Amino acid sequence: MKQAVSSIRYDVTVRRDVRVPMRDGITLSADLYLPETERKVPAIVVRTPYGKATQTMDATGRYFAAGGYGVACMDVRGRGDSDGEFVPYFNEGADGFDAIEWIAGQPWCDGSVGTMGGSYLARIQWLAALEQPPHLKAMISTVSPSDPFVEWPTGVPTPHHICWLYMTSGRVMQEVGVIDWESVYQHLPLVSMDEKTGKILPRWREELEHPRLDDWWRRISYQERFHELDLPVLHISGWYDDEQVGTLLNFSGMSTRARGERGRKNQKLVMGPWPHAINRSTRLGDLDFGPQSLIDLNRLQRRWFDHWLKGEENGIMAEAPVRIFIMQRNEWRDEAGWPLPGTRFTPFYLHSGGRANSRFGDGRLSMELPGEEGARVPDRYRSDPADPVPFITEMTSAQIGGPDDYSAVERRDDVLVYTTESLEEELEVTGPVRMRLFASTTARDTDFMVKLLDVWPGGFAQRLTDGMVRGRFRKGMDREELLEPGTVYEYDIDCWNTSHVFRKGHRIRVEVSSSAFPKYDRNLHTGGELGKEKEGVVAEQTVYHDPNRPSAIVLPVIPKNR
């Protein structure tokens, strides 16, 4: 049985707008939540661009302070009541170091400091940790964004990113509901898309000047530097978090590459059936994952800090390092690592008679290697950037996609659809999903998008996960190499991760297309300078599935009796 957190509850004193000095002389504003006790206590630092004086931040501060922590909820540089200019991510490493060390030196603090927070608040914890603040003892990283180009391997920011930049473009949150985002995203060229919001957004334009992973981006990257860290980290995300891939990369990276055994042996991962706003509802889209899908998140985080900041032996590190929610089975399961031990990475191959266009075509998916019929009749479709394949999503940046029904989208001829027969028994797929795609194009540059779906007996085509590759970056985001029209290339496409049981009678489906708008910008197929062009051309695409070019999606199948 899991041990309870300490039953001691302290009264809480709040000090508003406490000025925290940075090394360059500016001050950041923090609200301090302090337990009323004569003893020195450990501290938790939460740094945010979204406003420290919110109900959520206040509840967080009061909860942990009542449990015996000093909590600093702080506006980052240039936001809220803090001085300076907000430049996303670029000042957060040094500012995070200074904030942690200033808090550690306060007379009420015992010198042990942890950090926590989600999304932007998570990524800046990593940047601060790389500065090696000596009093930082542990982190809780929730729905953390990845390094540049990991989530959007396109060389340019995603259309939804301009919504986030607009929202954070002043000292206080800007109301995104007043903007017609669908119209904004349609604008070309990308470099002047900000004008459609009514504002010039310098950061948007600056990012478009760096379409490769160069030194400008590496200043705010962290995922290639886990070997510099030796910290215990609790990683939390959801299968439908639109930045999900970062959390799993971070857990795996720290577990295998952290500098010392303290870091490598003390990582924990929790993955629920949640979107970016984790643990708030049992429902997501048309699905209800049941009351067991919600957890006592405060208690989990409190136990983590009680162990690492207070030294309490509460049993949390004796528990399994990985806890995941298996969708469709709708239950939690403890695991020994990620990917799961015993996973069988199983290729499911594309087949057709050359007419896999739309869900009404002849595309098939099976574990059998393709035969010679695939060599005679590969699949073809036209990709027109003026009429991109839609990605189902809300228009703001709060959440991009979910377990949506793609059956209507699959009516299009520029979507290739490959589906298994109805399953005779259930199949669990838990882990990273990758696509090995053999394809050619008439263009100098193009995209290939891949989506994994569960087709229910009634026809509901539930999106599980997806991924994409931009042709010019097929060898890495640090270089551009245009395509040779007509040449067949093998593309390795990261489709992120899932944990899902395909029920008996359901079917596994894969979609292949060349756009997913507005999740990603439209590839104009010209091979020209990214973000600067207005006109595109139609690309003729060919997907191969024959013995020499066996296109396949590789699924992490979990055996029943592993």
Distance between CA 99 and CA 24 in Å, rounded? Answer: 13
* Average pLDDT, 10 consecutive residues per value, the chain (562 residues): 69 98 98 98 98 97 98 98 98 98 98 98 98 98 98 97 97 97 98 97 98 97 98 98 98 98 97 98 96 98 98 97 98 98 98 97 96 82 98 96 98 98 98 98 98 98 98 97 98 98 98 98 98 97 96 97 83
Q: Report pLDDT for 373.
A: 67
Rg (CA), the chain: 24
Q: Report pLDDT for 537.
A: 98
Q: Report pLDDT for 375.
A: 66
Q: Which of 161, 235, 276, 500 is catalytic?
A: 276
Q: Which of 29, 119, 146, 499 is catalytic?
A: 119
Q: Report pLDDT for 476.
A: 97
Whether 276 is catalytic = yes
Q: Report pLDDT for 73.
A: 98
Distance between CA 34 and CA 50 in Å, rounded? Answer: 22
Q: Which of 31, 75, 241, 447 is catalytic?
A: 241
pTM as predicted: 0.97
Token pair 């890495």 in the structure block, residue: 476
Distance between CA 82 and CA 87 in Å, rounded? Answer: 13
Q: Report pLDDT for 4.
A: 61
Domains for the chain: give ranges and CATH numbers.
12-147+232-335 (3.40.50.1820), 344-557 (2.60.120.260)
Cis geometry, peptide bond prior to residue 339 (ω within 30 degrees of 0): yes
What is the 3 state secondary structure string of 385-432?
CCCCCECCCCCCCCCCCCCCECCCHHHCCCCEEEECCCCCCCEEEEEE
Residues 12 and 76: beta-carbon distance below 8 Å: no
Whether 119 is catalytic = yes
Q: Report pLDDT for 1.
A: 33
Q: Report pLDDT for 2.
A: 45
